[in-house]
């Protein structure tokens, strides 16, 4: 309802109902909430926003949050880029020449032609943020990159949102249930997940639905009493970086107390496969002359003989009774004898170590042993039970191990795949809800995938996967779109990498710190000014994002820019970009796979349409309900592309590859998060956590004047004990520092954070700090070799360890 009324006096005026049109659209920033909104437009100005509240499944209504509600102040906000800009000073000097589109496109095209000729097209790298939030427009950029043979770095792995623990265990980088499924929980563990801030539209499923209807107990594991702790029945202020020990200790409890779901493990996991003592690898059917190398053997106790696991389905014979324990000797087809042990026994040996006894872990994690026991038992017995994992667990070098341990805990008790039972990580809208290949990859042509890590490092690591083609002369051009990599924790090495480039082009609607460092800035429409197709893992509705108003100022859609660029570079190739947004949507709906079968553009224009998925979606539905082999398919990759890193087709708690053996990570184990840092860094007294802020979506909205009115300046949360030791008072200017650098902001002395931990919301632009660079204290780029054994962009790729940083704080004098 457009607010054209005067503020009511004695008799409020009647609505001036002039030429207002109301448009139903979808907000799709990187929170990946994909909420439906109604925008009221008068004279081509958006004058009001209200949640659309039109989801056929009533429980989802209304969706929306304060950021969506403030979008007008981004669309018309003070930092909008109005015109194309070409740098007129040094990089970062912020001196610009405003130019027309023709000039800027010619400029970029000329550079691209030259770079491509001198160094090959793969030396030009596209890095666009969360492609899942806009299949059409961001897809157009990928399509053009594919046509030109450029390199493409998926943002998801560089963000660290890729959850390698999931990939290693279930063969896909994240699994999520639709949030409506939370409503069924009786026990919900929020493992460093702060849903009251990060999943605002969805939090009600726990706080209202599950709690009020089911008396759900909400357990928050987090070093700070986050906003979510308000709704939690139990808060466990864990020592940062020790979550892995906690998870393994809980595994020990459920194992010792006999809460193991053997049937679940036997059918859905690899725990009965046999590990050869000589090679440390699984016993294959080919080893014993019973089949191929891609088939695996277990020991059937009923028949007292080897049994070959089916590889076409997870279905097992009724009388299957596989061995979980016991070393046996088997004869190989070449006559040799080897000793083999079921994976379960190896897991058990690890889990039952004294080190993971609650009494021992109590010290590591600073959580009482009894509490560890209670929580583990409650999780195992008060069902349905869910775990929601947050990024505090994942953004760590050993985050994969922690997640493997958490998945093991859930599998031990069989808490997967039912309403209210899942392990979910809403780590990004990476999961395409349909196969976007027909639009993204013309005639199957894909761009050259390279993890952004190697761009930042400037060279491959010694262990880089041989599948990755690092450009022979290194990278010469970088195209960043809707991403702000100079406001992430690794901005310092990122800047160095940019300094090595001939051309750095940034596309955005706001003049971000990344734009400020660019050679060329292209003004983009916000996601309220262009047509797109949007999906999310939070809910199973496919939606249209509308061009509510035409692209503002001189901004142009990504689709238009790519067409125009290609025309200038290669008119022949440009023909393959000759589509409208509607065409692109139709192409994707037609070739998008079974999830979108029967869904048309027409239906989507009328409102959200539910995908053809289970109801409710619990995650891993096809595996657990239809006996399809793991992993769930990761779009846009073909069926079977993930098999090489999940060979057994079951949840794998044992990784057999040489590097896992070498690093002692075949089974989930615990490493202190900071163990890989130099001693000097380890000795810094404070761990720093950098959660998402409710005032922003990462760094988007940081400059939203509406939200800045409430969130005035960056603070560092610090416990009164730590503050007193340093003579810091609430509200004072302080400096966060370590050997890498420092920055200044203001102290918020609060009892809601654990001593020894400080907290700064991530995504602050440097200009709001007292001084320094937000990212300057964060640790250096590093790649975990186990993440390099295979490569499938954004599915099996190196993760990130932003949170493995330690700091100290002092007053600013």
Residues between 332 and 361 with contacts to other proteins, criterion CB under 8 A: none
- 576 lies in the binding site for other proteins (CB under 8 A): no
Pick one of 21, 56, 95, 208: the residue that binds other proteins (CB under 8 A). 208
Of 288 and 752, the one with the shorter C-beta distance to ligand SF4 is: 752
Q: Is residue 528 a contact partner of residue 98, using CB atoms and an 8 Å limit?
A: no
Beta bridge partners of 510: 80
Cα 282 from Cα 270, distance rounded (Å): 10
Helix (H) or strand (E) holding 708: helix 705-708
SS3 340: strand
CB of 377 to other proteins, least distance (A): 6
Of 379 and 426, the one with the shorter C-beta distance to ligand SF4 is: 426
Beta bridge partners of 40: 22, 48
* Near other proteins in 1-40, by CB under 8 A: 1-10, 12-13, 15
CB of 130 to other proteins, least distance (A): 22
* Near other proteins in 468-497, by CB under 8 A: none
CB of 705 to ligand SF4, least distance (A): 16
- Please count the residues of this chain forming the interface with other proteins, following the rule CB under 8 A: 83
Region from 86-94, 226-234, 458-466, 478-486 binding other proteins, contact rule CB under 8 A: 226-234
Q: Is residue 20 a contact partner of residue 41, using CB atoms and an 8 Å limit?
A: yes
Select from other proteins, ligand SF4, none the partner in contact with residue 563, using the beta carbon and a kind-dependent cut-off of 5 to 8 Å: none
Own/partner pairs for 461-464, CB < 8 Å, 24+ apart? 461/783, 461/785, 461/788, 463/659, 463/783, 463/785, 463/788, 464/783, 464/788
Of 257 and 639, the one with the shorter C-beta distance to other proteins is: 257
DSSP track, 750-769: -TTB-TTEEE--TT--GGGS
Of 51 and 551, the one with the shorter C-beta distance to ligand SF4 is: 51
Q: Six-digit token pair at 191?
A: 């493992």
Positions that interact with ligand SF4 (CB under 6 A): 27, 29, 31, 33-35, 63-65, 67-68, 200-201, 697
Cα 189 from Cα 209, distance rounded (Å): 16
Q: Where are the strands (E) in 412-454, listed by range?
A: 422-424, 448-449
Select from ligand SF4, other proteins, none the partner in contact with residue 31, using the beta carbon and a kind-dependent cut-off of 5 to 8 Å: ligand SF4
CB of 4 to other proteins, least distance (A): 7
Of 170 and 200, the one with the shorter C-beta distance to ligand SF4 is: 200
Q: Is residue 773 a contact partner of residue 517, using CB atoms and an 8 Å limit?
A: no
* Near other proteins in 701-730, by CB under 8 A: 705-707, 709-710, 719-721
CB of 428 to ligand SF4, least distance (A): 13
Of 440 and 528, the one with the shorter C-beta distance to ligand SF4 is: 528
Of the candidates 72, 80, 91, the one whose C-alpha atom is nearest the C-alpha of residue 486 is 91
Cα 634 from Cα 448, distance rounded (Å): 18
Beta bridge partners of 559: none
Q: Is residue 613 a contact partner of residue 571, using CB atoms and an 8 Å limit?
A: no
Pick one of 22, 23, 57, 69: the residue that binds other proteins (CB under 8 A). 69
Select from other proteins, ligand SF4, none the partner in contact with residue 34, using the beta carbon and a kind-dependent cut-off of 5 to 8 Å: ligand SF4
Select from ligand SF4, other proteins, none the partner in contact with residue 204, using the beta carbon and a kind-dependent cut-off of 5 to 8 Å: other proteins
- 225 lies in the binding site for other proteins (CB under 8 A): yes
CB of 180 to ligand SF4, least distance (A): 15
Region from 212-220, 422-430, 593-601, 618-626 binding other proteins, contact rule CB under 8 A: 212-220
Cα 39 from Cα 529, distance rounded (Å): 12
Of 4 and 353, the one with the shorter C-beta distance to other proteins is: 4
CB of 70 to ligand SF4, least distance (A): 9
* Near other proteins in 366-425, by CB under 8 A: 367-368, 370-371, 374-375, 377-378
CB of 707 to other proteins, least distance (A): 8
Instruction: State the DSSP code for 592.
Output: S
Of 228 and 402, the one with the shorter C-beta distance to ligand SF4 is: 228
Of 326 and 705, the one with the shorter C-beta distance to other proteins is: 705
Q: How far apart are the first and last CA of the chain?
A: 51
Q: Is residue 527 a contact partner of residue 134, using CB atoms and an 8 Å limit?
A: yes
* Near other proteins in 739-758, by CB under 8 A: 750-755
Select from other proteins, ligand SF4, none the partner in contact with residue 465, using the beta carbon and a kind-dependent cut-off of 5 to 8 Å: none
SS3 328: strand
- 215 lies in the binding site for other proteins (CB under 8 A): yes
Pick one of 28, 207, 429, 557: the residue that binds other proteins (CB under 8 A). 207
* Near other proteins in 71-130, by CB under 8 A: 72-73, 76-78
Q: Give the distance from CA 273 to its chain's centroid.
A: 31
Select from other proteins, ligand SF4, none the partner in contact with residue 53, using the beta carbon and a kind-dependent cut-off of 5 to 8 Å: other proteins
Of 146 and 723, the one with the shorter C-beta distance to other proteins is: 723
CB of 223 to other proteins, least distance (A): 11
Q: Give the distance from CA 314 to its chain's centroid.
A: 28
Of 209 and 650, the one with the shorter C-beta distance to ligand SF4 is: 209
Helix (H) or strand (E) holding 581: helix 581-591
Region from 66-74, 408-416, 451-459, 536-544 binding other proteins, contact rule CB under 8 A: 66-74
Strands 297-300 and 305-308: antiparallel
Q: Is residue 340 a contact partner of residue 327, using CB atoms and an 8 Å limit?
A: yes
Of 211 and 416, the one with the shorter C-beta distance to ligand SF4 is: 211
Of 136 and 203, the one with the shorter C-beta distance to other proteins is: 203
Of 422 and 536, the one with the shorter C-beta distance to ligand SF4 is: 536
DSSP track, 54-113: --SSGGG-S---HHHHTTHHHHT-TTB--S-EEE-SSTTS--EEE--HHHHHHHHHHHHH
Q: Give the relative orientation of helices 358-365 and 369-381 as an angle to the nearest 10 degrees.
A: 110
Of the candidates 263, 238, 262, 266, the one whose C-alpha atom is nearest the C-alpha of residue 250 is 238
* Near other proteins in 635-694, by CB under 8 A: 694
CB of 331 to ligand SF4, least distance (A): 60
Select from other proteins, ligand SF4, none the partner in contact with residue 13, using the beta carbon and a kind-dependent cut-off of 5 to 8 Å: other proteins
Select from ligand SF4, other proteins, none the partner in contact with residue 375, using the beta carbon and a kind-dependent cut-off of 5 to 8 Å: other proteins
Q: Give the relative orientation of helices 358-365 and 243-256 as an angle to the nearest 10 degrees.
A: 160
Instruction: State the DSSP code for 651.
Output: B
Shortest Cβ contact with ligand SF4: which residue? 68
Phi, psi of 85 (to 5 degrees): -125, 135
Instruction: State the DSSP code for 444.
Output: G
CB of 67 to other proteins, least distance (A): 8
SS3 469: coil
Select from other proteins, ligand SF4, none the partner in contact with residue 43, using the beta carbon and a kind-dependent cut-off of 5 to 8 Å: other proteins
Select from other proteins, ligand SF4, none the partner in contact with residue 333, using the beta carbon and a kind-dependent cut-off of 5 to 8 Å: none
Q: Six-digit token pair at 657?
A: 């590859």
Helices (H) and strands (E) in the chain, counts: 29, 31
The count of C-alpha atoms lying within 13 angstroms of the C-alpha of 178, restricted to the half-sphere facing its C-beta, is: 21
Q: Six-digit token pair at 355?
A: 């080190």
Of 201 and 419, the one with the shorter C-beta distance to ligand SF4 is: 201
Cα 243 from Cα 254, distance rounded (Å): 17
CB of 65 to ligand SF4, least distance (A): 3
Of 201 and 244, the one with the shorter C-beta distance to ligand SF4 is: 201
Instruction: State the DSSP code for 16.
Output: -
């Amino acid at each position: 309802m457009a607010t054209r009324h005067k503020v009511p006096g004695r008799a409020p005026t009647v609505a001036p109902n002039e030429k207002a049109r109301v448009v139903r659209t979808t907000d799709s920033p990187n929170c990946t909430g994909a909420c439906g909104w109604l925008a009221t437009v008068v004279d081509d100005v958006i004058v009001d926003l209200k949640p659309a509240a039109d989801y056929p499944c009533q429980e989802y209504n209304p969706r929306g949050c304060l950021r969506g509600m403030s979008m007008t102040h981004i669309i018309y906000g003070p930092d909008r880029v109005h015109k194309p800009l070409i740098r007129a000073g040094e990089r970062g000097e912020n001196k610009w020449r405003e130019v027309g589109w023709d000039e800027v496109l010619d400029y970029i095209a000329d550079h691209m032609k030259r770079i491509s000729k001198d160094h090959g097209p793969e030396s030009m790298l596209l890095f666009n943020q969360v492609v899942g939030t806009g299949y059409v427009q961001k897809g157009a950029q990928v399509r053009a990159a594919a046509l030109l043979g450029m390199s493409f770095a998926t943002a998801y792995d560089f963000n660290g949102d890729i959850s390698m623990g999931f990939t290693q265990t279930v063969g896909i980088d994240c699994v999520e249930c639709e949030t409506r499924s939370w409503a069924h929980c009786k026990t919900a563990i929020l493992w460093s997940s702060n849903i009251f801030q990060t999943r605002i539209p969805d939090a009600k499923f726990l706080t209202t639905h599950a709690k009020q209807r089911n008396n759900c107990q909400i357990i928050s594991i987090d070093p700070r009493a986050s906003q979510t702790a308000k709704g939690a029945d139990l808060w466990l202020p864990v020592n940062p970086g020790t979550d892995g020990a906690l998870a393994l200790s809980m595994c020990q409890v459920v194992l010792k107390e006999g809460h193991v779901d053997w049937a679940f493990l036997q059918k859905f996991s690899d725990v009965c496969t046999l590990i050869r003592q000589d090679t440390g690898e699984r016993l294959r059917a080919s080893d014993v002359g019973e089949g191929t190398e891609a088939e695996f053997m277990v020991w059937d106790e009923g028949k007292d003989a080897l049994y070959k696991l089916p590889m076409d389905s997870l279905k097992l014979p009724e009388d299957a009774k596989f061995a979980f324990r016991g070393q046996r000797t088997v004869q190989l087809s070449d006559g040799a004898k080897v000793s083999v042990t079921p994976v379960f026994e190896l897991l058990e040996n690890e889990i039952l170590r004294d080190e993971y006894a609650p009494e021992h872990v109590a010290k590591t994690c600073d959580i009482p042993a009894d509490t560890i026991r209670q929580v583990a038992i409650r999780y195992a017995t008060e069902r349905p039970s869910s775990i929601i994992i947050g990024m505090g667990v994942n953004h760590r070098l050993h985050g994969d191990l922690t997640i493997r341990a958490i998945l093991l805990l859930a599998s031990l008790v069989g808490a997967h795949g039912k309403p209210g039972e899942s392990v979910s990580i809403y780590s990004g809208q990476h999961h395409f809800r349909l196969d976007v290949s027909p639009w993204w990859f013309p005639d199957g042509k894909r761009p050259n995938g390279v993890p952004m890590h190697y761009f930042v490092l400037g060279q491959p690591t010694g262990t880089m996967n041989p599948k990755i083609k690092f450009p022979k002369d290194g990278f010469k051009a970088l195209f960043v779109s809707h991403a702000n990599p100079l406001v992430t924790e690794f901005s310092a090495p990122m800047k160095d990498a940019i300094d090595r480039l001939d051309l750095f082009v940034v596309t955005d609607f706001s003049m971000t710190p990344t734009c400020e460092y660019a050679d060329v800035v292209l003004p983009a429409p916000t996601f309220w000014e262009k047509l797109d197709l949007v999906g999310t893992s939070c809910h199973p509705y496919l939606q249209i994002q509308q061009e509510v108003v035409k692209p503002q100022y001189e901004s142009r859609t990504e689709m238009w820019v790519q067409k125009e660029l290609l025309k200038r570079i290669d008119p022949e190739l440009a023909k393959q970009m000759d589509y409208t947004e509607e065409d692109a949507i139709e192409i994707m709906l037609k070739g998008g796979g079974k999830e979108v079968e029967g869904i048309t553009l027409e239906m989507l224009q009328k409102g959200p349409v539910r995908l053809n998925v289970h109801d409710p979606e619990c995650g891993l539905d096809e595996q657990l309900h239809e006996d399809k082999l793991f992993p769930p398919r990761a779009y846009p990759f073909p069926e079977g592309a993930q098999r090489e890193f999940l060979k057994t087709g079951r949840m794998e708690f044992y990784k057999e590859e040489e590097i896992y053996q070498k690093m002692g990570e075949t089974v989930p184990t615990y490493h202190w998060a900071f163990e890989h840092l130099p001693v000097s860094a380890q000795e810094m007294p404070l761990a720093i956590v950098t959660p998402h802020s409710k005032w922003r979506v990462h760094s988007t909205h940081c400059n939203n004047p509406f939200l800045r009115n409430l969130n005035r300046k960056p603070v560092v949360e610090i416990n009164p004990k730590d503050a007193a030791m340093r003579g810091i008072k609430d509200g004072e200017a302080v400096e966060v520092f370590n050997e890498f650098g420092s920055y200044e902001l203001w102290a918020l002395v609060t009892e809601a954070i654990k001593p020894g931990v400080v907290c700064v919301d991530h995504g602050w632009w440097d200009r709001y700090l007292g001084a320094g660079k937000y990212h300057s204290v964060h640790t250096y780029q590093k790649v975990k070799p186990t993440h390099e054994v295979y490569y499938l962009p954004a599915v099996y790729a190196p993760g990130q360890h932003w949170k493995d940083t330690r700091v100290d704080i002092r007053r600013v004098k």
